Structure 1
């Protein structure tokens, strides 16, 4: 994450980002517009479609567009459409697509991308399908609530431009003649659309005159939706006015809506009722709930409905739970929970509530078996692939990096950029705080290895196994390069937020962003998780840039070194709880890989240390005194490390201690979360503030770092994973997840919070759901990546104890606190999704 603490340095960074942002904006404007044209396979439109292929090729060449043309509708998927700014539905009738394709188009349009429907794309009406085929009611509404009726014979007629100021039609003549079929509908769409041009029915012989006959229109309910009713005859492809129309249609459809993210968010929240739901997907057999946000208390047992998002038909109904207010969050806001866990039907849905004669809908979502894993895991793999620090500038510089305070150089190429606003690379940072150090690149690598092993069958099914394993090996290779000959790992490759790659150094960081030569990692500073990752990947018997034997040898070498020197590298010179759980992971993975007593004994020692750190209340004590362990990223890692230890421990005495520790920690997590009104089930925590232990929703803003209090989505992911992984051991239950329902709900709440079921109706997984944070640009082409998780929601800005609640799209350069992506957020979300997907306990 951004590691700027000292105020003057922070101001300088904001200025640099602002200037760089201007540069990238200009670059973005010069990038080619990417368009996907999918044409019908119906032979009735062959002459025009054959001509259209060359037509679009010439438009692309003339206007520097990048247009892909196909008649294969299978390319209409959510993931593929994300590669384009504009989708052109060329004579492809809505009834000629499967529901998956229909939903992909719905999501594409709803997210504000450009859709252009040409001619037969507007064939609405149930007359085209049999009674057993679901009707795409959503598309009929998109078209303005009209139904197609038979067209007259093909003939010349006139198009009259009505809106001469709109970008699509401003360059057309007042009217023009074209040869076409002149589609007719059961009524004019005018009340529901913005008409750009009409058909002059006096200029041709209609079949059933409409009177008011719009032929080109937009739908203002969406950002960039355009229907063009003409275009049946191949002569259109040589018509200069049709060429102008299509050129300007593409330009408009691809154009950016100013302040879209903030406007969309405001529009969704500034209602008397907002239905807040996971905006991506729910597992078929998992917990499913939404929250109704209202400006007044709703009657208890108010009904809600689940509607099919394609057909708009009700498929399930339920009753809301009691309306509640969360103290100190938002004034005059009530939340009512809608639980629909019992609804288990595959498909695409939305939630609806009716109040005072008005309808309020959630955004659409998917329900499918293992939906979260099928969607999130490939997205996360793709995110990390594009997060690689592999631009030409980085690769060249990082092969010969200067160690701070010396003339020595090391080769540390590879790894992942830390955040969408920070291209530095970290094993950990915040070392000077002693109690807040997050696990970064090594933890991400271990998470990938874990997922590769735990849900191998699903990965094979969705075609992500090889790509995830390769990404894990890529991470392991960077860890290998980061190991010094002496046996310590280099902690940070720091960019100084300088565009000159030669400015990069291997450093340690202090509170004022002062760089030092203290770059050696203690256990808690990434060293422990680095050893764990190398040891675990070594038994894959699969080579990256290094061999499996080299991975294991390096892990053993580093472990031996840190056993002697870890406390020397720690800023306060002694172990704390983070050292204990990171060293436990290191020793456990080496024990599993080698079966050596050295590692068994150290694992048992560290496990017992964690047990001794438990307070009577159930939280861990971070130091040797009274500081509760809280963590913005790794709050669940103590439980995860204990669970991994139990994968190999067979001695009943030690198992009993470890299981007791997990149980008490989970009991605490549930208790502290539910001790106050908390309709979202947001994970609460204990912390020391001004010398007193108190409980709260968010981490305290006044803490050892002096500045670090941004969103905590990594914490939520780690706690969700811990609830399921630890719960299987101490609270096994008759649920698909194999754990008590209370823990399944706890984990499900945290995942749904990240995916949009939160007070701000914002999905933190970029490129998914409806509302996302604005794109953040960084150097060397890096920036916000699809599938990455943003920081998230915090306590109120300005409150030292982290009370209240806050989320800002814009904050004079400080909006990164909420919107910046950070690799631990995404790495921990991967672990949470893996835990929720796993069905059978697997011991490696």
Structure 2
């Protein structure tokens, strides 16, 4: 979100040193107030570094450390220690030359995936006269979920919005007032509530509060055994019903959901209201009716799933399961008729397809009615028709490639969900074929260049006259010159969504791999690499999950706001000033821009929770 508006909101200038030496499951210490100072985080300058997931690694899964070296030697050795005792020793494996982020560095890897005994692990490395040791990482079963699940869930409760003023809010350019109480604040520095934002840009809608509500309801219902085994079932049910109750309140009598509750990021004098908005100035608009792609589809999915949870658990929130299901039905019928009218450009695109498909799958699960299967087939067919010969998708009816900074895995996840309700083998096989090609595309584009960390790459176009046009490019990070006009940030949510897609889609293909998560070695390595990046195995050696790992992001209240344990910062981006998002950057300052890297955002924790609950399937 625009940083200048955060600055007007808080008037605070803080600096915090990078938080070091955190014990697992303990919050990072709060920053101390100081005079206005720019927080700046540069790439570590040590000649030898060992980067590793600092939070948890699966006992029977990929385990890899990346070694960065600045020097002339070409060979080195490593030792893997478990609970302080050596268990593996060997030669470092050199990786292909890579100069995109730090010219002059050489990269090596250490693979200790075959170390399957639980314990606390470190990797020691020697190259020439240099020696370095990684952070420690626990290795266990259901690793990240078991280690972080309680705090990931706790993030949502800490993010609840309970201001009584939201019980009586105006709707922009109307005389109406409505009850939009509850839900979750969107981010550390933003008390607004969003089913989705960026709708004016058409192809950038992220699924925000509605996605959180669905993941919580799905987890509480479909993954009950996992949460119960870790003593978290009551907690996740409470949060799922909190989300469903909010969706009920923001469902208008006409049948559409309110897209945002917004006050220009707390700008003094701005009226908090139900409204749409656009651009860096947060200009209010009448685009406040949620299309499928603007959170409406996932809100329907969440309510349908919450109705099943209420029916089977015997519990509910302020409203009951029958109400949740009636809401989901009514909202779907409304959007089935009017959805294009709620799209900024009047046309549906790929995001409408996959979010509507998720809504229909959940409605079919909740009711068993044929009409929802019939509509799901139409949506799945529309989505699958957008796939290109190389397995990637296009976003529109033309040639714009699909790329998304928050939910790039959702097309595959939605098709995988569709296969669960499709009884006809030919239709189901078609969907599986599309899933297979899509996953191959993700693997191929990621492996197409030297890529020491295995960071998921993407293809994109730059904007020309406000529209994506011209040559289709490829890169690591989202382009900074895009249709939103201002919005680019770290991609922690995107990475977790792709991990989830690889795990869910890969299992659907029935390869029954043995490299972890029921996947082939290539698939498992990809899924693990995306989470590893967020959890510390990145060039900054920083865990974006606050309260976990050896080093967390700094606190910058001016633009990034509060930092909650279990929250995940936006993360690493391409270099500032790069239209294509080339290069690499994290929190270079000034403080008014630090939200792009440091701020916690609800989709990040949502997608991490979803990914790790799916990775924890036995």
CA deviations on 1:84-139 (whole Å, 9 max, x unpaired) are: xxxxxxxxxxxxxxxxxxxxxxxxxxx789xxxxxxxxxxxxxxxxxxxxxxxxxx
Matched residue SS, 1:634: coil
- Provide the rounded CA distance (Å) in 2 between the counterparts of 1:501 and 1:714: 32
Matching of residues 412-427 of structure 1 within 5 Å: 412-427=180-195
Q: What is the aligned counterpart of 1:355 among 127, 131, 135?
A: 127
User: Are 1:383 and 2:152 an aligned pair?
Assistant: no
CA contact (8 A) 1:397 1:502 kept: no
> CA shift at 1:77, angstroms?
8.6
Gap change, CA 1:425 and 1:748, over 3 Å in 2: same
| Residues 528-574 of structure 1 deviation map (CA, whole Å, 9 limit, x = unaligned) | 00001111121121311111110000000000000111100101111
Structure 2 counterpart of 1:35: none
| RMSD, aligned α-carbons | 2.6
TM-superposed deviation, 1:623: 0.6
Conserved? CA contact 2:547–2:566, under 8 Å:
yes
Q: Which residue of 1 aligns with 2:200?
A: 432
Q: Distance in 1 between matches of 2:60 and 2:38?
A: 32
Q: 1:11 corresponds to which residue?
A: 4
Alignment of 1:744-763 (within 5 A): 744-763=524-543
Q: Tell me the residue number matched to 2:563.
A: 784
Q: 2:346 aligns with which of 559, 566, 573?
A: 573
Are the equivalent residues in 2 in contact too, given 1:420–1:778 (CA < 8 A)? Answer: no
Partner deviation per Cα, 1:236-273 (whole Å, 9 max, x = no partner): xxxxxxxxxxxxxxxxxx9899999979x76x922110
Matched, 1:283 2:58: yes
Aligned residue for 1:835, secondary structure, equals helix
1:680 to 442, 453, 461: 453
Distance in 1 between residues matched to 2:594 and 2:270, nearest whole Å = 28
Aligned residue runs from structure 1 range 221-620, under 5 A: 269-296=44-71, 298-300=73-75, 302-309=76-83, 312-390=84-162, 394=163, 396-498=164-266, 503-511=271-279, 512-540=281-309, 541=311, 542-620=315-393
User: CA 1:642–1:414 in structure 2 vs 1: closer, same or farther (change >3 Å)?
Assistant: same
Q: Which runs of 5+ in 1 are unaligned?
A: 5-9, 26-75, 83-110, 114-253, 840-844
Alpha-carbon distance, 1:297 to partner: 5.8
| CA apart distance, 1:357 | 4.1
- Looking at structure 2, the residues matched to 319 and 354 of structure 1 have their Cα atoms a distance apart, in angstroms, of 10
Provide the TM-score with structure 1 as the length reference.
Answer: 0.68
Correspondence list, 1:114-129, <5 A:
none
Q: Which residue of the partner structure matches residue 737 of structure 1?
A: 517
Matches within 5 A, 1:101-250: none
* TM-score (norm: length of structure 2): 0.92
Counterpart Cα distance in 1 of 2:35 and 2:118: 36
The higher relative CO (CA closer than 8 Å, separation ≥ 6) is in: 2
Shift of 1:812: 3.8
Separation in 1 of the partners of 2:264 and 2:143? 40
> In structure 2, how many angstroms separate the alpha carbons of the residues matched to 1:743 and 1:528?
29
| 1:32-111 paired onto structure 2 within 5 Å | 78-79=24-25, 82=27
Match of 2:417 in 1: 644
Q: 1:257 to 1:377 in 2, by over 3 A?
A: farther
Distance in 1 separating the partners of 2:488 and 2:540: 18
Deviation (angstroms), 1:359: 2.8
SS of equivalent to 2:93:
coil
1:132-171 C-alpha deviation (Å, 9 max, x unpaired):
xxxxxxxxxxxxxxxxxxxxxxxxxxxxxxxxxxxxxxxx
The offset of 1:833, in angstroms, is: 0.9
Partners of 1:13 and 1:700 lie apart in 2 by 23
| 1:346–1:367 CA contact under 8 A, matched in 2 | yes
Segments of structure 2 that go 5 or more residues without pairing to the other structure are 17-21, 463-468
Q: For residue 715 of structure 1, what is the aligned residue in structure 2?
A: 494
How far 1:318 sits from its partner (Å)? 3.6
How far apart are residue 449 of structure 1 and its match? 2.2
Question: How far apart are the structure 1 equivalents of 2:380 and 2:475?
Answer: 28
- Shift in Å, 1:488: 0.2
Q: Which runs of structure 2 are paired with 1:807-818 in the superposition (5 Å)?
A: 807-808=586-587, 810-818=589-597
> What is the rounded CA distance, in whole Å, between the counterparts of 2:415 and 2:171 in structure 1?
36
Post-superposition CA distance 1:629-659 (Å, at most 9, x none): 0000110001111111111111112101211
Q: Tell me the secondary structure at the aligned position of residue 625 of structure 1.
A: coil
CA gap 1:298/1:472 in 2 versus in 1, 3 angstroms:
farther
Larger radius of gyration: 1
Change (3 A) 1:818 1:502: closer
Q: How far apart, CA to CA, are the structure 2 residues paired with 1:671 and 1:78?
A: 35
Q: Is the 8 A contact 1:350 1:362 kept in 2?
A: yes
Indicate yes or no: 2:479 matched with 1:700: yes
